[in-house]
A and B are shown apart, each in its own frame.
Chain A
Amino acid sequence: MRQSVLTRIIIFGIATLAALIYLVPTFVSALPAWWTSILPAEKIHLGLDLQGGSHLVLEVKVDKAIEHHVERLRGDLINKFREKSITGVSVDRVDGAQIVVKVPQVNSEQLRGVIKGEFGNLIEAKTPQTSGSSTEFFLTLSREELRNLRETIVDQSLETIRNRIDQFGVSEPIIQRQGQQNILVQLPGIQDPQRAKDIIGKTALLEFKLVDDGANVEEAAKSGAPPGRQVLYGQVGKAGTGGSVERVPYVLESRTLMTGEYIQDARVRPGQQLQGPSVELILNNQGARLFEQITAANVKRRLAIILDNSVYSAPVIQERIGGGRASITGSFDIKEARDLSIVLRAGALPAPVEIAEERTVGPSLGQDSINQGVLSFIVGGALVVIFMIAYYKGAGLVAVVALLFNVLYMIALLAGFQAVLTLPGIAGVVLTVGMAVDANVLIHERIREEIRAGRAVRSAVDAGYQNALPAILDSNITTFLSGVILFQFGTGPVKGFAVTLCIGIVTTVITAVYLTRIYYDYRIGARRLERISI
């Protein structure tokens, strides 16, 4: 038996009430407190293309970080061999992440023992080759180790980026992994995308190295640094002020004495007189001890403070520095100092990141898009309403009422699911209005046919709905399938279209088929319906 008309009216009444409740937060700006405590308070989320903001995909250069890791392993190997007094060994890194160890053949068994015993994460990439009196071992990271390393690097990068964005202050950012080595960052409503990109993208590897005061700087800059030394550059003169910026070379000892990993806090100190602002570093206990040792051992020498391979300053160590405080000065203004303190506080990225995709929309374009979307929705909807009523008269009106409920449910579901409404998403709503009446057209055409075939109104309506249903379901299922594929394939705005398309299909079937049916059942039940306006 058919559910009674009353039951169905009650069900739709409840659904409509729920839909309205979900829509209130979006259209009422100041909600009373009792409302937010028991009822949904979330507005419809607007995509970045509508509210403005930046969508960034960052690629973590994992291979670079792995090379660094292997480089450190190489250093460990050399130290270990020295410790075990295996002589005549050369250790080189080749092809990014492989290590070749060349050793006199007489020592090869001993060396192999050391590697097996102490470096469990290294495996032999291929069998050792012996030529003449020496043997070459080819070492590489095990597959599992490599995989773990990659995962860790990407996860750490994500955490660091999250920290930086938190400190930068963006409301409701989205930061998540995407695929193997990408990180998706969405910053809604951001005003200065370039600054955000600078802060997110900075590796912020802080290093302390000693300056080799005995070296000939000019010669080293021209023809390369001597072994164990490296040449890095610093800047003199402030960038962006129009003054000339000069690059100054420094010859440094390659060994890193300390890195930024011990930083507990970083604060901006405003500039005084001739000096610009500085960033004060506060080290944790371990770092403070280390810094004290370093400064004690190198009094009167210059300690270079290097960020991302650029020398910020190289002050002379006057005395042993306890208490774990150091400060970075350099040619930056207060804004740059603030950004620098953010990245230092949040820590260094374990690997460089590169922007692989950026989509930034300014707030004015977003508002324009909303206006244009709403306008085409109103105009398109009005055209469909006029057409349906002109063509199907009474039945057209029923379909139009169903269409109104359709749109109501659709937007309520968007709010309820916390789906993101984008510009293509609005287009999806508009398109749904145009396609939804298909179900009613199918039903009406069937009913007309049945009436033409001489059936009474009641059985014509029954047969109309019954015969049209398979076609309605078919056509909606196929579009739904396309929507699902689109959701899988699409990014951002296009996903928004897929979501509204799919939600629209569900609400269409519910309203165009079941809601309109209530009306006809009611009319037919109330009195013997002799004629139907269709």
Chain B
Amino acid sequence: MELIRSGTKIPFTTYRKQAVILSTLVNLIVLAFLLIKGPSMGVDFAGGTMVQLKFQQKTAISDIRQALESVQLGSSVIQDFGQEGSNEFLVRVEKVGMEIAALSDQIKKALSDKFGAEKFEIRRVEFVGPKIGEDLRWRATISVIASTIMMGVYIWIRFASAFGARFGLHFGIGAVIALVHDVLVTVGALMLANYEFDLTVVAALLTIVGFSVNDTVVICDRIRENLRKIKRDTLENIINTSINETLSRTILTTGTALLVLLALYILGGAVIRPFAFSLLVGFISGVYSTIFIASPVILLWGDRLRR
């Protein structure tokens, strides 16, 4: 079976202007939203308490809220969680106070009084103090930035031997721009889909950075090879040839990863869903950015790449 016929020649680079404009626009919108509204932070980063409840019977959110009012927690965020009919809820309390660590106990008591202790179960409690939340936020940001830069440096060093330090740097910059694009697109999708940012989402972002750079490496590698093999052609054509030659690999690899991610997203449960969602978006964006963003960046430096 062949997905992409050999000899396929799609002139990808001719669409680079449209792609760059579109991507810049999308990224700017995401950035604007990040700055104005900010992402909705999970307990990991915002601090506070989150309690996951499972009731034996169908229970209305308003009843839970009513029960929580007796301990002044009526204003908590209460939402459905998990599959429909599983009667699971998340209660999120952002109240900051002295007794914050005992909150889950208070919630348990209030609900026992109303529903009976055996009618529900506290399945998960997460409490993160403000200091740790801030610390995690900081470390998450740093690690995403650090790994992005690290990928750029890796590519720079990797290709410096073939093209010289300066052109290796151009490859590195191309990769970093593509990665920033992928991370921003994923962040935007998470905000659109109303997922909260937590540690696993950041783990997904880091994985996207590590995975999405693969395509860039493979295509750059092919460009390097073709630059040696094909002497008489423009850089643009060589880039196009390289993208086309590696296209089926790019699609297949991402395709199999997407298959397992879809399984995780649908079957993996509500805890892992934001993680799977991020990777789905990030990997798709990774293919796009390699083809339409990283390659044009290399093209920017023109035919000087040829020695």
Contact = CB atoms under 8 A, between A and B. Distances in A.
Interface of A: 49, 57, 59, 193-194, 197, 201, 354-362, 364-365, 368-369, 372-373, 375-377, 379-381, 383-384, 387-388, 390-393, 423-424, 427, 430-431, 433-435, 437-438, 441-442, 445, 448-449, 452, 470-471, 474-475, 477-483, 485-486, 488-491, 493-494, 497-498, 501
Contacts of A376: 260, 263-264, 266-268
B258 to A, nearest CB: 7
A482 B140 CA distance: 13
B249 interface: yes
A368 B151 CA distance: 37
Contact of B257 (A388, A431, A491): A431
A501 to B, nearest CB: 7
Given A355-B101, A362-B121, A438-B256, A485 B150 contact: yes
A427 B209 contact: no
Interface string B140-155: 1011001100110010
Given A193-B125, A442-B218, A482 B210 contact: yes
A57 B130 CA distance: 13
A477 B157 CA distance: 13
A193 B126 CA distance: 12
Interface string B237-250: 00000000110110
B249 A197 contact: no
Nearest to B175: A478
B263 A365 contact: no
B275 interface: yes
| Best-buried of B102, B143, B256 by chain A (most CB within 10 Å) | B256
A9 B202 CA distance: 41
Given A57-B132, A356-B131, A358-B126, A383 B101 contact: no
B6 A380 contact: no
Contacts of B54: 364-365
A427 B154 CA distance: 26
Contacts of B87: none
Contacts of B210: 478-483
B207 A486 contact: yes
A392 to B, nearest CB: 8
B231 to A, nearest CB: 18
Interface in B192-230: 199-200, 202-203, 206-207, 209-211, 213-214, 217-218, 221
Interface string B112-138: 000000000111111111011000100
Contacts of B263: 376-377, 379-380, 383, 430
A78 to B, nearest CB: 33
Contacts of A381: 260
24 contacts: A354-B129, A356-B132, A357-B132, A361-B123, A372-B272, A373-B268, A379-B263, A383-B260, A384-B259, A387-B256, A423-B271, A427-B268, A430-B268, A431-B260, A434-B258, A435-B211, A437-B253, A438-B253, A445-B252, A474-B158, A474-B217, A475-B214, A479-B211, A485-B147
A365 B124 contact: yes
A24 B3 CA distance: 41
A491 B133 CA distance: 12
Given A362-B124, A434-B256, A435-B257, A478 B199 contact: no
B147 to A, nearest CB: 5
Contacts of B150: 481, 485
| Best-buried of A193, A356, A377, A387 by chain B (most CB within 10 Å) | A356
Main secondary structure of the interface of B (DSSP, over half): helix
B52 interface: yes
Q: Which 10 A-B pairs have the closest CB atoms?
A: A482-B210, A380-B260, A434-B260, A380-B263, A475-B214, A372-B269, A489-B143, A479-B210, A355-B101, A365-B123
A501 B272 CA distance: 16
Contacts of A471: 217-218, 221
Contacts of B214: 438, 474-475, 478-479
A484 to B, nearest CB: 9
| Best-buried of B132, B206, B275 by chain A (most CB within 10 Å) | B206
A481 B257 CA distance: 19
B128 A434 contact: no
A369 B271 contact: yes
Contacts of A442: 218, 249, 253
Contacts of A491: 136, 199
Nearest to B217: A474
Contacts of A373: 268-269, 272
Nearest to B153: A481
A320 B167 CA distance: 90
| Best-buried of A356, A391, A437, A478 by chain B (most CB within 10 Å) | A478
B199 A490 contact: yes
A470 B101 CA distance: 52
Given A478-B217, A490-B203, 4 more contacts: A194-B104, A437-B253, A474-B217, A475-B213
A488 B139 CA distance: 9
A482 B207 contact: yes
B1 interface: yes
A475 B264 contact: no
Contact of A427 (B1, B129, B142, B275): B275
A489 B52 CA distance: 25
| Best-buried of A49, A358, A387 by chain B (most CB within 10 Å) | A358
Contact of B147 (A391, A474, A482): A482
Interface in B160-210: 199-200, 202-203, 206-207, 209-210
A201 B99 CA distance: 12
A498 B102 CA distance: 32
Nearest to A54: B125
B105 interface: yes
Given A431-B261, A434-B257, A471-B217, A441 B151 contact: no
A498 B203 contact: yes
Nearest to A422: B200
B304 to A, nearest CB: 24
Given A355-B127, A427-B268, A501-B207, A441 B101 contact: no
A388 B256 contact: yes
B130 to A, nearest CB: 9
A446 B305 CA distance: 25
A404 to B, nearest CB: 15
A504 to B, nearest CB: 11
A431 B253 contact: no
A357 B100 CA distance: 11
B253 A362 contact: no
A376 to B, nearest CB: 4
A388 B108 CA distance: 50
A372 B256 contact: no
Contacts of B102: 194
Contacts of A483: 210
B143 to A, nearest CB: 4
A198 B252 CA distance: 54
A486 B201 CA distance: 12
Nearest to A195: B105
A372 B268 contact: yes
A187 B242 CA distance: 54
Contacts of A435: 211, 253, 256-257
A434 B279 CA distance: 12
Contacts of B266: 376
B38 interface: no
| Best-buried of B143, B253, B258 by chain A (most CB within 10 Å) | B253
A482 B213 CA distance: 11
A498 B204 CA distance: 10
A452 B127 CA distance: 60
